[in-house]
A and B are shown apart, each in its own frame.
Chain A
């Protein structure tokens, strides 16, 4: 019992640690990629090739003056950044990082909570993230943050619907809401992106909208809203919004890898089945993280390539195009599955 509890605690610490490390270096990757795309050098002063830059950034955020404007609602102003950051960390609990890690007779599962309603858990938890932004916009008690908060909450509620409906065909085909089972299904058959390309495309676009990334970053459109909902924030509170955004990106990437790109599996032996040896399990975790990094790069690549949508275009895309498309997609997949079952 105690040993089991200890194992879980180590697993939780490892997942949070690795994830925060990835978040810090995604910011770094973003700065490098943007510099490269704009033909600049990018950060290269701290450590060899600038690899210690995230450490320096973190220290800078901590030592900056934490300004608390007098016109804000203090309690909610301070809670908002925390509420933005936490859901991303909690959502990782049900995403399978690997299959098994067989160590000295014990088999350690590659997921913290092997929940049967895994995907619903993720949607439930990440739907709470919008509170942080709404509260930040309202508690700041000034115009631009408020407009940013309003825009963001409308956008996130709309695209949550698309996100939820677009993955239904995946679970219809895999036959389980458990994310581990979905990955095992893909390892045994084929990656679901090949069977459900429309689902994947809608999920990908909605994920960009849900994380407030370009081309859907209207809540913090600099030209119109200064900084949007985090205009009044400074120091570590601002950094937490930043971390929250990148943590959400990480979760969405991990979700896309898990649902559509085979999670920890590779389409050849011995990596296409749950591991029975330690090194296979370790490689599978590496495979998962490598796939996630590809999607993180895609997020960054798109940000520095595509211009921003207009607000009415964003809403029309979500409600008038994606939602009807996802419903038709669900219907089609149901008919095809019923015909195949016959």
Chain B
């Protein structure tokens, strides 16, 4: 087993363990921190795929921004109350159904013939261009429409969170 494989198994197993920890833990802060660790290990997997840009964005957006806000809200909650919470059996059942459906779906996808990587472009300097060029040349319109939708959602949130509208 070479270094690459060892790292792949390390990141994957660590990621799965963290994922289990997120749902098995009763303390919301511990769950949130496990989720942050999971994002970091996932970024490690992206690095192994030489997708440095995606890895950096993964850490920057999910671990660095989204989860900090989550933690911020969780810290203001009553932790003791949620620690006393018992397992909801309906929730466990629903979770098993969703996970089973996902595994079934993955089996179908993995049984398809493998598509080899297009062109042997492993030039690291092309990493960012590979992401940006298609985005701003081929998919310019969908990209801008997405941006507009996000803006609308943001304005909506600001409007909803105001207590008294003038």
The B-contacting residues of A in range 147-187, CB under 8 angstroms, are: 149-150, 153-154, 157, 160, 177-178
Dominant SS at the B interface? Answer: helix
How distant is the Cα of A178 from the Cα of B52 in the complex, in angstroms?
12
Contacts of A153 in B (CB 8 A): 68, 71-72
Is A128's CB within 8 Å of the partner chain B?
A: yes
Is A130's CB within 8 Å of the partner chain B?
A: yes
How distant is the Cα of A120 from the Cα of B64 in the complex, in angstroms?
12
Binary contact readout B57-77 vs A (1 if CB under 8 angstroms, 0 otherwise)? 101100111001101100100
Interface residues of A toward B: which range?
20 to 34
The B-contacting residues of A in range 103-145, CB under 8 angstroms, are: 115-117, 120-121, 123-125, 127-128, 130-131, 134-135, 137-138
Q: Which of B64, B69, B72 contacts A128 (CB 8 A)?
A: B64
Is A76's CB within 8 Å of the partner chain B?
A: yes
Contacts of A135 in B (CB 8 A): 29, 33
How distant is the Cα of A134 from the Cα of B36 in the complex, in angstroms?
14
> Quick check: A131 and B53 within 8 Å, CB to CB?
no
How far is the CB of B64 from the nearest CB of chain A, in Å? 3
How far is the CB of A71 from the nearest CB of chain B, in Å? 13
> Quick check: A124 and B59 within 8 Å, CB to CB?
yes
* Additional pairs, 15, CB under 8 Å, beyond known A137-B75, A153-B71: A76-B29, A116-B52, A117-B52, A117-B53, A120-B57, A120-B60, A124-B64, A127-B63, A130-B64, A130-B68, A131-B36, A146-B75, A150-B75, A154-B72, A157-B69
B residues bordering A, Cβ < 8 Å?
A: 29, 33, 36, 52-53, 56-57, 59-60, 63-65, 68-69, 71-72, 75, 124-125, 127-128
